[in-house]
Amino acid sequence: MDDAAVLKKKGYILGGRLGESSFAKVKSAYSERLKFNVAVKITDRQKVPIEFLEKFLPRELEILSMVNHCSIIKIYEIFETSGKVYIVMELCVQGDLLEFIKGNRGLPEEVARRMFRQLCCAIKYCHDLDVVHRDLKCDNVLLDKDMNVKLSDFGFSRRCFRDGNGKILPSQTFCGSAAYAAPEVIQGIPYHPKVYDMWSLGVILYVMVSGFMPYDDSNVKRMLRLQKDHQILFPESLSMECKDLIFHMLHPDVSHRLRIEEVLNHPWLQGKHLMAHRF
């Protein structure tokens, strides 16, 4: 059966294509049960690598079925046929954050602050569950009709493993996009997955308030050198508080990189002023 027939049997009327990722396509559909439009992520088992099928897809399905947060994409139903996996989820009609940023050539800090706070709350919720995303980027942050943030695409997410003393074990798989990847990940060093998420969040915030990437990933060696030297070129218009937050999120030393609780308590997200320069 084709996608339309499979979905019709489940009570969905298939619509047009919304987008495509490396291993899946996303289409709109109308739910006869819910009485509104939804998005359906369709993964063809025959067209994806074995590692994705055996490791990443089961993790994604497990995590999607357990998370429930207002700033994480809502999942209505997951079902499988012999050849495909269908994930029925909330439709975000305003598209993704990257499109919104491009359309506005960067966002005013007050707009960015509201959206970034929502995103950080979603990450704190995940990290509190010992779930890491590992593919945070503007493309994976969707916007609903009221311009609220909805974190999506948990294809590289996983549960954290801990040793006998409760310490989180490092990850070794390279995940995500180079432009959003932390220097330790690019170098192939085993990394703390929650701290990796924090770097990617810092890149997202930089893009939100500036309209461009903090580093040029067309030359990875040069990008890595700038990252390790902790060199960040900020637009002059940014507030001291915003620069300070980004500077401490994009710290090459993982022991000094801000954790999610510290980000949420930072003066910029609290709408407060710094007493003095900290960088």
Residues taking part in catalysis: 135
Q: What is the DSSP string of 153-174?
A: --TT-EEPPB-TTSPBPPB-S-
Q: Residue 208 burial by CB count (10 A; 0-12/13-18/19+): exposed, middle or buried?
A: buried
Alpha helices by DSSP H, listed for 95-162, are 97-104, 109-128
Contacts with 164 (C-beta within 8 Å, 6 or more apart), sequence order: none
Count CB atoms within 10 A of the CB of residue 85: 19
Tokens of 107: 């966002």
In the structure encoding, which two tokens stand for residue 166, read together?
A: 């409760």
Provide the 8-state DSSP code for 52.
I
